[in-house]
Chains A and B, each alone.
Chain A
């Protein structure tokens, strides 16, 4: 079965600093991977997704993620944090075993300090 693990339920960075949110996946087949963001009192919004076309995926709001098969990782980064980036971020994997389920990690809450 496929799964994702997000390391760090809370991450704090200073405004202007690098954002790094970690996600490791488990899959016996090439996965489809996603990052979603949830702002307070809102639904989840797609940031970016990996579908094997390119290992470095660029998303919205300056975020990007790199698929590393050797490390089974799909970490999310942004060079310079803005106050508006404060939110909860979820990594997800699409189940390709036939069920079409999407399995989400436990989320990482990003706090941006002024």
Chain B
């Protein structure tokens, strides 16, 4: 158990819909990362937050947004969903205060768009 909690574990939704994925980081970790894992694109970095502020942005679509709340949990919002958005979405956390910190992954949220 990494200490990173993601909900829901599985989600099936229709094209055009909007979903929210939730992540609780490990106790004490200030930094949250979101990754998308799909068969054809591998593990893609989406976005990172540190103590409520966006710190780094990767290959995140404009239809996707995220935020980190004062209690440090984070949400990834996916809207106008397309079939190609079907993937495993990971949240990870770290203390985020120095380079080279280990990041710890949650078990992921499986999103299926039908």
Contact = CB atoms under 8 A, between A and B. Distances in A.
B65 interface: no
10 contacts: A34-B102, A42-B107, A43-B105, A44-B90, A46-B104, A95-B56, A99-B55, A102-B33, A102-B92, A107-B42
Contact of B99 (A43, A46, A100, A103): A100
Contacts of A111: none
Given A43-B107, A101-B58, A96 B99 contact: yes
B43 interface: yes
B106 interface: yes
Interface residues of A, number: 23
Interface in A84-103: 90, 94-96, 99-103
Interface in B56-103: 56, 58, 90, 92, 96, 99-103
Interface of B: 2, 4, 31, 33, 35, 42-43, 45, 48, 50, 55-56, 58, 90, 92, 96, 99-108
Contacts of B106: 43
Contacts of B58: 101
B8 to A, nearest CB: 15
A77 interface: no
B105 A45 contact: yes
A32 B100 contact: yes
A94 B102 CA distance: 9
Contacts of B4: 43
Contacts of A100: 31, 48, 50, 55-56, 96, 99
B43 A104 contact: yes
A90 B92 CA distance: 15
B112 to A, nearest CB: 14
A106 B42 contact: yes
